[in-house]
Amino acid sequence: MFIDNFRLRFYILFMESIQQLRSQFQQELLSISTLTQHEEISIKYLGRSGSINTLLKTIKDVPLEQKKEFGATVNGLKKEIEHALEEKKQQVLSQTEDAQYTDVTLPGTPYARGSVHLVTIAIEEISRVFSKLGFNRMSYPEIEWEQYSFENLNMPPEHPARDDFETFFVDHQPSDVFGKMILSPHTSSGQTREMQRVQKPPIRMINLAKCYRPNWDASHVPMFHQFEGLCVDTGITISHLKGTIDYFAKEFFGANRKTRIRPFHFQFTEPSFEVDVSCGVCDGTGIIDGTKCKICKSGWLELGGAGMVHPNVLKAGGIDSDVYSGWAFGFGIERTFMMKEGLNLDDIRVLYSGDVRFLEQF
Ligand code: FA5
């Protein structure tokens, strides 16, 4: 009974000291970051007078029946320590090499190259086409007064046509003269600004700017871009409008594309039209392999609105409507770009998703 108790106590003490040594070693192993520290810890545990040897020396005091188990456990711990120290040494060595040597012959890590956003590409292309025709590139305010966005465009405060351009109002003191401050819902706000700037026609303006409306679906985003053409001079007619739009379509989409105008209503143009461009996928036929073209369904894609500038708008811009006439059009930049042949984008929101896998293709 006495012997059994003694063995049990010895066994418990022995296992406790093995466990203590193991956790002490594991902690110190974590703190090793140099070869010198590695050396010190190796000696501390595996050296001639190290912890493992000191333990092994106590074997002479171990009861005979437990000597074998004692030896095997201590040697197991020794192997564990040797293995962990070897792994640590390799880790420290590779970190030291990284820090000390730079192989200048290795190929460099290439920088990720950014690319120009599709809308920027479209803005540049559109500007180029109109600069060939002698149009001035302008960018009128995104934060605008109601006066320029509506009143000057023949839409008084109570006019229901304003609902078509559902508006974001800016929390700002209204002006007695200009009304409330808004986020411009269309580039047409630039029409009378340009007339007031130039004062005396000829005017040939292409206004490219951001517009804002509270919409969000496959063909609408709350922040989008429009480009607005404005031409005012003596003797300007619908033929000039049609000729300019045709020229733009052929330059921008390709020589095979055609345009058409359909009667419509805008408060600031008279007569007014909607402008379509022939579909590049079905070549304006509306049919592919005997079935309806999925992109256009009719052979035509809508570019936007246009018309002859209303005399009231010319007046608001300080231009004599008895002497001068003009036309204007306003098209969405994103939607126009999506109509390019071969692009086949079916959701405008992808342009603003920030997904580089999509954006970097262009
Ligand atoms: C206008 O904005 C008129 N100012 C155009 C105009 C100018 C008519 C000059 C006459 C003379 P509309 O609301 O239809 O018209 O918008 C024109 C184009 O802007 C649309 O065809 C579309 O391409 C684009 N657009 C309008 N709202 C959005 C939106 N939320 N997201 C993306 N594109 C839009």
Residue 98's pLDDT is 65
Determine the distance separating the centroid of ligand 1 and the alpha carbon of 357, expressed in angstroms: 29
Nearest CA to ligand 1 atom 2: 186
- Which is the closest atom of ligand 1 to the Cα of 331? 18
Determine the distance separating the centroid of ligand 1 and the alpha carbon of 211, expressed in angstroms: 9
Question: Do 245 and 307 form a contact (C-beta atoms < 8 A)?
Answer: no
- Which is the closest atom of ligand 1 to the Cα of 348? 32
Residue 227's pLDDT is 98
| Token reading at 222 | 């709350």
- Which is the closest atom of ligand 1 to the Cα of 222? 30
- Alpha carbon distance 343, 203 (integer Å): 34
- Alpha carbon distance 15, 22 (integer Å): 11
Task: Give per-residue burial for 144-181: e unless 16+ CB within 10 Å, then b.
Answer: bbbbbbbbbbbbeeeeeebeebebeeeeeeeeeeebbb
Give the residue among 296, 303, 267 at the shortest CA–CA distance from 281.
Answer: 296
Report the SS3 class of residue 216.
coil
Residue 1's pLDDT is 42
- Fold classification of 118-359 is BirA Bifunctional Protein; domain 2 (3.30.930)
Angle at which helix 2-30 crosses helix 35-46, to 10 degrees, equals 170
Domains of the chain by residue range: 2-95, 118-359
Residue 71's pLDDT is 87
Residue 40's pLDDT is 94
Q: Name the DSSP class of 187.
A: G
Determine the distance separating the centroid of ligand 1 and the alpha carbon of 359, expressed in angstroms: 24
Determine the distance separating the centroid of ligand 1 and the alpha carbon of 307, expressed in angstroms: 13
C-alpha angle with apex 100: 96 to 104, nearest 5 degrees?
130
- pTM of the entire predicted model: 0.73
- Alpha carbon distance 41, 21 (integer Å): 13
Question: Do 159 and 226 form a contact (C-beta atoms < 8 A)?
Answer: no
Q: Who lines ligand 1 at CB under 6 A?
A: 186, 188, 213, 215, 220-221, 224, 226, 228, 266, 269, 302, 304-307, 328-332, 334-335, 348
- Which is the closest atom of ligand 1 to the Cα of 327? 11
- What does the pLDDT profile of the chain (362 residues) look like in tens digits? 445 666 677 777 888 888 899 999 999 999 999 999 999 999 999 999 999 999 888 888 787 888 888 888 999 999 999 999 999 999 888 887 666 667 788 888 888 778 889 999 999 999 999 999 999 999 999 999 999 999 999 999 998 888 888 899 999 999 999 999 999 999 999 999 999 999 999 999 999 999 999 999 998 999 999 999 999 999 999 999 999 999 999 999 999 999 999 999 999 999 999 999 999 889 899 998 999 988 888 999 999 999 999 999 999 999 999 999 999 999 999 999 998 877 778 889 999 998 888 888 87
Question: Do 53 and 112 form a contact (C-beta atoms < 8 A)?
Answer: no
Substitution candidate for ligand 1 out of 211, 226, 262, 348 with most atoms within 8 A of CB:
226
